[in-house]
Amino acid sequence: MKISEILKNNKVTVSFEVFPPKEWGKLEHTRAIVSEMAKSNPAFMSVTYGAAGTTAGFTSELAGAIKESGVTPLSHLTCLTSTKDKIDSVLDDFAAHGVENILALRGDIPEGFVFPDEQHFHYAYELINTIREKGGFCIGGACYPEIHPESKNRVEDLAHLKEKVDCGLDFLTTQMFFDNEIFLNFKEDCAIKGIDVPIVAGIMPITNANQIKRSIELSNSSVPKKFFKIMERFGGNPDSMKQAGIIYATEQIIDLMANGQNNIHIYTMNKPEVADAIMKGLSHIINE
Ligand code: FAD
C-alpha cells in the first residue's frame, strides 16, 4: 500500500523504523526483530539505508520481510555516493521486493568527500526527480525541525525544503526532536511556506544513558532540561532508565496528538519491547 494513502485520512498513525545489520550473518536476527515488531501493528515500518549504500541489499531484504509480516514497508535510499545507474538498479531491486514507498535522502557527506562527476547526485531533490521519472513509487523526504546542520538559517533551510517537496514528495518525516514546541513551530513555518504534504513526527525513545549522547551528536537535537533531570536521576539504573524513556516518549506523543499531530514515527533502535510498550501506552488513543 502507498503511504500517501495511509496518511490521507486524518487518522492517528504510529509507524516504526528499523535499521539493517552490518553483516549478512545477522540478517536473520533482524528479520526476527521485524516479525516481532509487526505484532504491535504499526501503520508502516521503515528500514534505513546504510551510509554510502554499502548494505543496500539488506534494506531490500528487510523491506521484503516487513511486507511478508503483513506491514507496509518504507525503504530508505541515499544517493550521495551512487551513480544514476546504481540507483536505477536499487529501484528495480526494491520493486522486486514489493516496495512501493521510498524515503529519498541525500546521505551525510563523508569527511574529505569530493563530488565525482555529473553522474553523481548532490542533493536529495535530484534523487526525488530520478525516482519520480522511474514511476510507481510513493516518495517521502527528510526534514529538520532544528534545521539541517549544513543550512545557514531557517529561511534557507525552508526554501530548499519547499523546492524538494515541489519535486514530487508525498510526505515528510522529521529528524528526531525532544521538545514539542520546536516541532509545532516548524510545522507552522512549513504551512506559511506552502509546504502542504503530511509531516510525520520522528520520536526517539531514549532508553539508556549512552544513547542520548550519540543521538544528540548525530541529530543536532536540543534536549529539554526535564529530560536531563530524568537522565541524572535514572541513567545509572538500566531498568529505571528504560521505563522512564518509554514514558517520556509516550507523553511526548500524547502531547503532540493533543496539539493536532496525528502521524508519529518511532525510531525503535530495533527494540520490539520498547515499541510495543509505547503502543500499549497509546492503545485507546490509536484506535480512537
Ligand atoms: P537534502 O534535502 O539534499 O539537504 C541537505 C542539505 O542541503 C540541507 O542543508 C539543505 O538545506 C541543502 N540543500 C538542499 N537543496 C539545496 C540546493 N539546491 N542548493 C543548496 N543547498 C541545498 N542517512 C542515511 O545514510 N541513511 C538513512 O537511512 C537515513 N535516514 C534518515 C531518515 C530521516 C527521517 C532523516 C531526518 C535523516 C536520515 N538520514 C539517513 C540522514 C540524512 O541522509 C542526512 O541528514 C543528510 O545530511 C541530508 O539528507 P537530506 O535528504 O535531508 O538532504
How far is 23 from 194, CA to CA, in rounded Å? 43
Give kind and range of the element (H or E) at residue 264.
Answer: strand 263-267
- Euclidean distance between CA atoms 131 and 137, whole angstroms: 7
Say what the pLDDT of residue 243 is: 97
Query: What pLDDT score was predicted for residue 43?
Result: 97
Q: pTM of this prediction?
A: 0.97
| Cβ atoms within 10 Å, residue 109 | 12
| Residue 17 annotated to the active site | yes
Quick one: pLDDT at residue 112? 86
| Ligand 1 lined by 76 (C-beta under 6 Å) | yes
Q: What is residue 71's three-state secondary structure?
A: coil
Residue 221: what pLDDT? 86
- List the chain residues with pLDDT less than 70: none
Residue 139: partners with Cβ closer than 8 Å, 6 or more residues away: 101, 102, 103, 104, 128, 131, 132, 168, 169, 170
pLDDT of residue 125: 98
- All three cell numbers of 144: 529538520
For the beta carbon of residue 77, count every other beta carbon within 10 angstroms.
Answer: 27
| Ligand 1 atom at minimal distance to the Cα of residue 156 | 11
Q: Is the CB of 145 under 6 A from ligand 1?
A: no
Ligand 1 center from residue 99 Cα (angstroms): 21
**244 half-sphere exposure, CB direction, 13 A CA radius:** 18
Angle, in degrees to the nearest 10, between helices 209-219 and 225-234: 150
For ligand 1, atom 5: residue with the closest CA: 123
Q: Contact at 8 Å (CB) between 88 and 61?
A: no
Catalytic choice (17, 61, 100, 146): 17
**Residue (of 56, 175, 53, 61) closest to 121 by Cα position:** 53
Question: Given this model, what pLDDT does residue 115 score?
Answer: 78
Contact 16, 151 (CB under 8 A): no
Q: Provide the pLDDT for residue 110.
A: 85
CA torsion through residues 108, 145, 252, 188, sign: negative
Q: Ligand 1 atom 6: the closest Cα is on which residue?
A: 150
Q: How far is the CA of 104 from the centre of ligand 1 (A)?
A: 9
CB proximity list for 267: less than 8 A, separation 6 or greater: 17, 176, 202, 203, 204, 205
Cell digits of residue 159:
526554501
How far apart are alpha carbons 5 and 118 in whole angstroms? 35
